[in-house]
Structure 1
């Protein structure tokens, strides 16, 4: 694998993993617009390790607080807002986990086309715009109820469709339920942790079944670049959306979708 390919793939993964613009769409499109071979399972695992490290590092204090409150709740059989948030992260992951097990192969074979990506980018981008402009409220992620989490978790399952964006669809659902922008983004990022672990775990299983020579330097550099770019993306995204909202990302999605239709239809 060429170093230029490593750098571009790592930065693309790190930046798009947490922005509402679909990382899977961009990683599908990179080989389409280049002559590069598929990066392979080992690099996929490395990139997931990088982005997982970034989100865990950024939200380490929240994770510590929620984890402690979740375990304390078992002692008193009662959970405060932080403890309930721990349950919401677990429950919100179940739908996408089940959908991934049931439909992962079908999605990988049948839906990874530029046309599907374009339709998802535009369609779910318009829905994000509506949620941000018309339905946004002032609730925080600690105000969520079980029914809210089930809606957000169900919406997250749609992220299996390339072009949807896991972060984009979960933020959209949260905004539609009345969360403010920052809260919608924070809950989406916290939900990403078990999802990335599950996705990375499946790739590790595939990697174990396909042993071969591993270029550790390439994987380490890829993971570091993905991690740094993901951390910076989370940090600045949370600052940008409080001032500018989701509009820049909606415009990007629609423009990218139209360009794909122009080139491939």
Structure 2
């Protein structure tokens, strides 16, 4: 059988929701045509025609007036259901994955759905910002590590609240936002320089995505082309946690302390 033959089979099954429904129903248990008619809400003629198509492809057999899925029919059904799951996953996580791939973040494909996703929408454009802020504020007595391409008032206030609650905060920011941070958020900059529990680093290279770690929670933030937080993946899965830790250490290794950057400015 050629790949074209396989494509024809996929096209045949996907071409009708009733075909999928019949194969799914037979996968659960053998049925007579009359039972299938009621189960999938189709005419007897339609059911018989589809069963004929399945028999031609050896996906089902007829025994004692009952139709049963063959082992190959089971595999076709299971593979198709897996494909549907992957398409649904792509619909949900596609924007997040595309934004990270656009900036060559190297996020592991197997971890794309390994957590909860918060997505900014037209109705709630600050959803991602609000979630990051909430995670920062909840960092009582926690070790917080983060990398961010932007500095905004919500993050500064949340970080200050976490420090007041006994947290230790390490942050890497983009060199391009240092000047704006100093001029627009003077008190936050002063605290970053003076508080022993705060350490701020400056990346010499542009930062195009964000990472966040608080205790056992790791987050990855995808930004749009205007540097607005678009999606936040939040997870405790080891693959995500290890990737976030690795990326944070990599950013810190290449960065300078904020105090040194300001002294040399």
TM-score (norm 1): 0.19
Structure showing the higher helix proportion among its residues = 1
Structure showing the higher strand proportion among its residues = 2
Higher RCO (C-alpha 8 Å, min separation 6): 1
Larger Rg: 2
